[in-house]
Amino acid sequence: MYNSNVRPETMERITTPELANAFIDEQVKAVREQVGDKKVLLALSGGVDSSVVAALLIKAIGRQLVCVHVNHGLMRKGESEQVIEVFQKGLDANLIYVDATDRFLDLLAGVAEPEKKRKIIGGEFIKVFDEESSKLDGISFLAQGTIYPDILESDGVKAHHNVGGLPEDMEMELVEPVKLLYKDEVRVVGRALGLPANMVDRQPFPGPGLGVRCLGAITRDRLHALREADAILREEFDKNGLAGKVWQYFIAVPDFKSVGVRDGKRYEGWPAIIRAVNTTDAMSATIEEIPYSVLHHITDRITHEVEGINRVLLDLTPKPIGTIEWE
């Protein structure tokens, strides 16, 4: 039933712990049958999908799962540290940490075309995993956090994602236990697996990370400004009770500057664009209304605390017509 890439019409929407546990039991059995006594390699980003897959596979095969967290230099502020804290220290995962920041950013230097950026990031990820797996004995499978919207949108809309982005000569067989689930179902399964709330309710983060939010050709100074501005946005949403109300919120920084004034002098800086959307399945999205008092405070903090940014804008476009990400 769960072997195809088409969700059966008879498959009940997972909304309760009971349905989640039935799904978990079914997948644990399926994974054990597929994997046997061999090892599985998982790209553990720390996002909801890969975290739930990790927890599910740890339940099914324990230490046969090897989690690899690659810091590609495009993570949000403090994110890699959090992955290590939660998984290595909290869940006793078999975790390998790879800092590949320079490797990725050097490859991306001067590349402005979004699809090319995605392909470089995705392709380099595969190379890193191939290198890591070659150091390990008996790795036969690659686990992925593919979910159903990825499959539905894999016809050119999401060329960067797990679906369709893998080289044909990749030697490892795929393990994709949540590929027929929508995002809201993945969260229900995560709770049933006992994952902490701050992980299960964590907002989605694209595979290419800040690479698709640092618009155009990525530079280290603009990437740094984006990371700092995004951290301020997340901190203020947490403080003001918006984190639980908004499904996804982030900053995008385009590759152009405008004139501003700082300390009585002309000052050229980038704009920071706030995007805050709500959705249940990622197929469509509505705009969350943010109180102007909060927006004014966020603007004040970003423009005064983040070097290089001198304007803050708000994106009011739903999906459709705009995608959730800018690139």
Q: Is residue 6 part of a domain?
A: no
Q: Residue 254: name the closest of 199, 181, 309 by CA.
A: 309
One-letter amino acid at 94 equals: N
Q: Residue 41: name the closest of 11, 18, 69, 77 by CA.
A: 69
**pLDDT for residue 3:** 54
Domain boundary among 167, 200, 233: 200
Q: Which residues, in sequence order, are CB contacts of 101 under 8 Å at separation 6+?
A: 71, 72, 73
**pLDDT for residue 20:** 98
Please tell me whether residues 56 and 142 are part of one structural domain: yes
Domain boundary among 165, 200, 235: 200
Interstrand relation of 248-252 and 265-278 (parallel, antiparallel or unpaired): antiparallel
**pLDDT for residue 171:** 67
Please tell me whether residues 192 and 223 are part of one structural domain: no
Q: What is the mean pLDDT of the chain?
A: 89
Residue pLDDT, tens place only, 98-137: 999 999 999 999 999 999 999 999 999 889 878 887 888 8
Taking residues 244-268, report their average pLDDT. Answer: 93
Please tell me whether residues 284 and 183 are part of one structural domain: no
Domain boundary among 169, 200, 231: 200
- Specify whether the CB–CB gap between 80 and 69 falls below 8 A: yes
The answer on pLDDT for 156 being more than 90 is no
Q: Is residue 163 part of a domain?
A: yes
The answer on pLDDT for 31 being more than 50 is yes
Q: Is residue 206 part of a domain?
A: no
* String of DSSP letters for 304-326: HHSTTEEEEEEE---BTTS-SS-
Domain with residue 259: its CATH number is 3.30.300.10
The full length of the chain comes to 327
Q: Is residue 8 part of a domain?
A: no
- Other beta carbons within 10 Å of 257: 16
C-beta pairs of 78-83 under 8 Å, 24+ apart in sequence: 78/231, 79/46, 79/205, 80/46, 82/46, 83/44, 83/45, 83/46
Q: Residue 282: name the closest of 183, 176, 144, 190 by CA.
A: 183
Taking residues 205-221, report their average pLDDT. Answer: 94
**pLDDT for residue 165:** 43
Residue pLDDT, tens place only, 284-313: 999 999 999 999 999 999 999 999 999 999
Phi, psi of 301 (to 5 degrees): -65, -50
Q: Which residues, in sequence order, are CB contacts of 71 under 8 Å at separation 6+?
A: 80, 97, 98, 99, 100, 101
Q: Residue 233's domain spans which residues?
A: 213-315
pLDDT bin (cut points 50, 70, 90) of residue 204 is: confident
Please tell me whether residues 34 and 130 are part of one structural domain: yes
Cα 243 from chain centroid?
16
E strands, 72-115, are 95-99
Please tell me whether residues 281 and 191 are part of one structural domain: no
Taking residues 142-163, report their average pLDDT. Answer: 70
Q: How many domains does the chain have?
A: 2
One-letter amino acid at 126 equals: I
The rounded distance, in Å, linking the Cα atoms of 156 and 255 is: 25
**pLDDT for residue 126:** 84
Q: Is residue 9 part of a domain?
A: no
Q: Is residue 10 part of a domain?
A: no
**pLDDT for residue 206:** 84
**pLDDT for residue 159:** 40
Please tell me whether residues 113 and 236 are part of one structural domain: no
Q: Is residue 208 part of a domain?
A: no
Q: Residue 202: name the closest of 153, 241, 257, 246 by CA.
A: 246
**pLDDT for residue 169:** 54
The answer on pLDDT for 172 being more than 60 is yes
Please tell me whether residues 192 and 239 are part of one structural domain: no
Domain with residue 69: its CATH number is 3.40.50.620
The answer on pLDDT for 88 being more than 50 is yes
Please tell me whether residues 34 and 129 are part of one structural domain: yes
The answer on pLDDT for 221 being more than 80 is yes
The answer on pLDDT for 30 being more than 80 is yes
Please tell me whether residues 223 and 188 are part of one structural domain: no
- Specify whether the CB–CB gap between 175 and 141 falls below 8 A: yes
Please tell me whether residues 275 and 138 are part of one structural domain: no
The answer on pLDDT for 203 being more than 70 is yes
**pLDDT for residue 12:** 94
Please tell me whether residues 184 and 235 are part of one structural domain: no
Please tell me whether residues 57 and 170 are part of one structural domain: yes
The rounded distance, in Å, linking the Cα atoms of 121 and 100 is: 11
